[in-house]
A and B are shown apart, each in its own frame.
Chain A
Amino acid sequence: MFQFFFKLAAAPNFYRFSSKLLPWLAVSTLLVIVVGLYHGLWLAPADYQQGDSYRIMFVHVPAAWMSMFIYIMMAGSAAIALIWRIKLADLFVISSAPIGASFTLLALATGSIWGKPMWGTWWVWDARLTSELILLFIYVGIISLYNAIEDKRSAAKAIGILTLVGLVNIPIIHFSVEWWSTLHQGPTVSKLDAPSIHLSMLIPLLVMAVGFKLFYLTIVLLRMQNHILLQEKNSTWLARKADEL
């Protein structure tokens, strides 16, 4: 079992393995999301307080979860790359970053859209929204740094370090913003999640969360394949395999 993962750290093996996995991932992503959408948009009943607008939750919350989940994955991968010097782990970071950034953007935008009917305003300097905005800047910084450095091997190492620096800072940022916002929070701002959520709403939420994770996995593998090709463009295994691509 360990041998299997060990072999996977080599680019050709990873490429082959991910090529086999991708169709399955793509199909299951589609299925799970369709099921989640059907459940959330059609089957689930309207909320007592928020009416039908709460259905935005089924994209907003999974997007927010993904924005944080992806960053943690990136940080873990950066640590692995740093400690065990596995190049593929470095590629995982830059492959994940744009996906993380887009989920963060989605979380912010849908949060803002949901906020308008709920709080009456498009933006509130609420702890979670502000932390999420800063997370977006961190993602954009990581992507910009990678693009700015010409030697892609150094670039990958640099964003690995940057990601880990961000990992230390994100809890501090979140804590400070929460501190800041609770002292300014007016009585009109309501909390987004109720203490207990009804099963008919929980199920589509979890299904969508799983669907989003599958989507992430699909896209990150695709992007990793692209980076592997770019990295290995001079190698012999690529020359031999070129016709199969």
Chain B
Amino acid sequence: MSGFFLLLKRDLILANRNRSELFNPLLFFILVSTLFTMGTTASPELLSKISAGIIWVGALLASLLSIDSIFRSDYEDGCLEQWLLSSHSSSVLVLAKIVAHWIITGLPVIIITPLLALMLHLPTESLTTLMLTLLLGTPVLSLIGSIGVALTLGLRKGGMLLPLLILPFYVPVLIFANNAVQVSASGLDASAQITMLAAILVLAITLTPITVVACLKLSVE
């Protein structure tokens, strides 16, 4: 357990040293949401219907942008191999890295969302639902994303392969999250969708670390 917190702390400290890099996914998130608006329409009624989707797609793309860095530097300087060989449970270490990644990328997205929701005319009744879906969903994005990264870590010309691999698996999260917000915007109860998101999160937390370790062992050898 101590390995988990040590690694978590180390990653957070490292991220803090590169503070400008911290803001890139966040800026991207804001930019994407703004661009969507400018590319479609500025009429408040229409925007209020699609604002949840815009915010979610923005969060998704921002996660995709930042996920590659989760193992990259440790792979390149050889730390990753050492951790896999060490006596610590590899799955716990992987989980620590994913949690660190989520704190660095997912959490800022959640914090800035109320501001974006205001700009995109999100109906105020559904703001808490949107925040809840992001809280449950962004960790899933980090988790599933890390599987994709682990599979493509050794490749030089990764390119569009990573998004291609991961995006199909992001779809259920996107659908349930958006649906939850739409339902709550019309005043109804969205607990079914929230429960589904929670279930997906639990499934992801359970199965992802072992899968990532298996993929990392392939990429590292």
Contacts and interface: CB of A to CB of B under 8 A. Distances in A.
Direct contact of A and B (CB under 8 A): yes
Interface of A: 134, 137-138, 140-141, 144-145, 148-149, 154, 157-158, 161-162, 165-166, 168-169, 172-173, 175-177, 179-180, 183
Contact of A179 (B168, B169, B179, B215): B179
A90 to B, nearest CB: 12
22 contacts: A134-B168, A137-B164, A137-B167, A141-B168, A144-B164, A145-B151, A145-B165, A148-B152, A149-B154, A154-B154, A154-B219, A158-B219, A161-B214, A161-B215, A162-B151, A173-B169, A175-B172, A176-B172, A176-B176, A176-B196, A177-B175, A180-B179
B168 A161 contact: no
B221 A154 contact: yes
B171 interface: yes
Given A145-B152, A157-B218, A172-B172, 9 more contacts: A137-B167, A137-B168, A144-B161, A145-B151, A148-B155, A148-B161, A154-B221, A177-B171, A179-B179
A149 B155 contact: yes
Given A148-B155, A154-B218, A162-B151, A179 B175 contact: yes
A168 B147 CA distance: 13
Q: Is the interface of B mostly helix, strand, loop or mixed?
A: helix
Interface of B: 147, 151-152, 154-155, 157-158, 161, 164-165, 167-169, 171-172, 175-176, 179, 196, 200, 203, 207, 211, 214-215, 218-219, 221
A140 B168 CA distance: 11
B116 to A, nearest CB: 23
Contacts of A176: 171-172, 175-176, 196
A158 B215 contact: yes
A80 to B, nearest CB: 16
Given A134-B168, A173-B171, A177-B175, A165 B211 contact: yes
Contact of A173 (B161, B172, B211, B221): B172
B179 A183 contact: yes
Q: Which of A134, A172, A173 has the most CB of B within 10 A?
A: A172
A170 to B, nearest CB: 9
Given A154-B218, A179-B176, A183-B179, A169 B157 contact: no
Nearest to A169: B169
Contacts of B157: 148
Contacts of A183: 179
Given A134-B171, A148-B155, A149-B155, A158 B165 contact: no
Contacts of A166: 168-169
B42 to A, nearest CB: 24
The 8 closest A-B pairs by CB, nearest first: A176-B172, A176-B175, A141-B165, A180-B175, A137-B168, A134-B168, A172-B172, A169-B169
Q: Which of B169, B179, B196 has the most CB of A within 10 A?
A: B169
B151 to A, nearest CB: 5
Given A161-B151, A172-B172, A176-B175, A141 B164 contact: yes
B221 A158 contact: no
B218 A158 contact: yes
Contacts of A149: 154-155
Q: Which of B161, B175, B196, B214 has the most CB of A within 10 A?
A: B175
A128 to B, nearest CB: 14
A173 B179 contact: no
A144 B168 CA distance: 14
Contacts of B165: 141, 144-145, 162
Contacts of B168: 134, 137-138, 141, 166, 169, 173
Q: Which of B168, B179, B196, B211 has the most CB of A within 10 A?
A: B168
B49 to A, nearest CB: 12
B164 A140 contact: yes
B197 to A, nearest CB: 10
A161 B217 CA distance: 12
Contacts of A168: 203, 207
A130 to B, nearest CB: 9
A157 B196 CA distance: 31
A165 B169 contact: yes
